[in-house]
Amino acid sequence: MPILDTSEVELPSSTGLSDDVAAIVDAAGDYEAGDAEAAVELAEAASAVDGVELEQIGEKLVAETDTGEVVIEGDGSISLHADGMPDIGVQVLGDAEDAQVVDGALVQNEIAPSTDVVTRATEDGVQMVAILGDEDAPNEIEFAMELPGSARLVEQLDGSIAILADTEVETIAPAEAERVLAQIVSVLGLEYDGLAELTPEQEERIVEIPSPEITTVIQSQQIGLIDIPWAVDADGDSVDTHYEITDDGILQVVDFDKDTAFPVTVDPWWSWLVASAQRMFALSNPIGISNYSFAVKLGAWVAAITLATKGKCRYERDWPLQVCWGGKLAMLDGYGGGTTYGTTYYASKDPLTFSGMKSSNGKPTQKYKDLLQHEWVHTLQWKSLGLGMAGAYLVSEGIGRGLLTGGKAGCGNIFEIMAGLKKGGYTNC
C-alpha cells in the first residue's frame, strides 16, 4: 500500500484425493486391521493434503500451524483454535479398542467394526481418514460437531458443507455515504488532485462535516468448510460417498458393494476459513468514530474524484471496500500496484487486469481475492488510525527499508506485514 511516492485478514490449501494410484494400491496391499503404521501410510498415500505433526503435551496432542492450533483430547475429541475466533469441535463417534500416535498422527483402531480412523492436523484444520477394512465395516461414519453461536451447516452443490455464522456488522447507511461524498466535493472541488496542501479553511470545513451515521446489519459469513468427500478402494478406484447433515453434526455415507475392493479409504476434511472468520470478528470490533469518519471521508473523496474525471469504481462485497481506477488521480498510484486511501483502493488501471488476477473464463482468481483481503486490512488500519495512518505508514516503511530489509519495499513495514506480504504481492521478501 504505497502512500503517494513510496513503493509498495486463509483460504484453505487445496485438498482431495491423491492422483498417485500406484501409491494407494501399494499402501492398501500392505494394510492390515490393527496395524497403526500401515493405517497411517495408507492415509498419507490416499490424501493430497500434507499433514502437520501432532506432539504430546500432557494428556493432549497438539499441532501448531500458521493459521491456528489443533488440539486432540484423551477421548479423541478435537478442537480447532485460531486467534480472534471461537473454537470448533469435532469427534468421530465410536468406541476405539486402542489409540496410539504414529508419525505425528493419531490412530484409533476398531472404532467401529473393521474400521480404523487416522487423524492428522493440517495447515488449515484437521483431516480424519477412516479406513474400512472389509465388508463388515459400516457404510456410515458419524461425526459430532460443536459449533459457535449462531453457526450452522449448509450443504453446497459440489457436496462440500459450508459452516456459516451470523454476525452484527457496523456499516454506513447508504444515504450517509452519499451525503459525506457530496460535502467533501463541495469543500475540495473536483479539480483538487490530492497533492496540494489543504488551506486552513478547507481543513476546518472538513472537520466540521458531521460524521456518517453508522447502522448495524446482520451478515452471514462463511467461517469454515468441510471439503468435498471422497473415498477410494484398494484398486485405486473412487467409491461414491456423500454427507448428510444431522442434528449433532454430519454423517458420511460410503456406497460400497460386492464389487468393492477393500480396504476403502474415506476422507472428511475440516478447515477454518481463518481469514474469513478473523474478518468477521474484526468487523464487529469498535473503532474510534473520528478516525472511522476520516477514513470514510478520504475514501469517498478518492471515489468522487475518480468518477468525476471519467474513472471507474466498483464495490467489492467479499472484502468490503471500494475499488477505483483511472481518472485524474493516477499520480496517487505510487509504482503501479495500487494504494488504499481510507476505505477506497485506488489503482491507475483496473486491478483485475493485473497479471494473474483473472482466469481464462474471465472470473477473478484467488490471487485477486488475496489482493482484496490485503487492501481490506489496510482499510481497517485507516479506520483505526485516521489521519495518523499516512505518517505512521511512511515511518514504518523508512525503518523497514533502512534497518530491516536492505532497501526492499514493503518487506519490513509492519502495516504490510499485518495485511499479509504475499497477499499484497510482496513476493521478494
Per-residue pLDDT, averaged over 393-420, amounts to 69
User: How many whole angstroms separate alpha carbon 414 and alpha carbon 10?
Assistant: 19
Are the C-beta atoms of 100 and 72 separated by less than 8 Å? no
Give φ, ψ of 77 to 5 degrees: -70, 145
pLDDT digits (tens, 9 = 90+) for 78-108: 998 876 566 789 999 999 999 999 999 999 9
Are the C-beta atoms of 254 and 267 separated by less than 8 Å? no
In terms of Cβ atoms closer than 10 Å to its own Cβ (0-12, 13-18, 19+), residue 424 is buried
Residue-wise over 124-159: b if at least 16 C-beta within 10 A, else e? bbbbbbbbbbeeebebebbbebbbeeebebeeeeee
Strands 321-325 and 344-347: parallel
pLDDT digits (tens, 9 = 90+) for 295-336: 887 888 888 888 878 889 998 887 888 899 998 887 777 666
Host H or E run for residue 44: helix 36-46
- Give me the residues paired with residue 62 across strands: 55, 71
Grid coordinates belonging to 47: 490424501
Closest to 415 in 3D by CA, of 396, 391, 387, 388: 396
Tell whether pTM > 0.85.
no
Are the C-beta atoms of 54 and 105 separated by less than 8 Å? yes
End-to-end CA gap in the chain: 15
pLDDT-derived band at 212 (thresholds 50, 70, 90) equals low
CB atoms near residue 46 (< 10 Å)? 27
- Cβ contacts of 365 within 8 Å, gap of 6 or more: 356, 357, 358, 359
pLDDT number for residue 276? 45
pLDDT-derived band at 7 (thresholds 50, 70, 90) equals very low
Are the C-beta atoms of 338 and 345 separated by less than 8 Å? yes
Q: What angle do CA 168, 169, 175 make, to 5 degrees?
A: 125
Per-residue pLDDT, averaged over 371-392, amounts to 84
pLDDT number for residue 177? 62
pLDDT digits (tens, 9 = 90+) for 259-276: 999 999 998 777 665 444
Grid coordinates belonging to 85: 475466533
Q: In terms of pLDDT, which residue wins out, 209 or 136? A: 136
pLDDT digits (tens, 9 = 90+) for 158-187: 788 888 877 665 566 667 766 776 777 788
Per-residue pLDDT, averaged over 116-127, amounts to 90
pLDDT number for residue 85? 64
User: How many whole angstroms separate alpha carbon 406 and alpha carbon 408?
Assistant: 6
Closest to 12 in 3D by CA, of 66, 59, 57, 55: 66
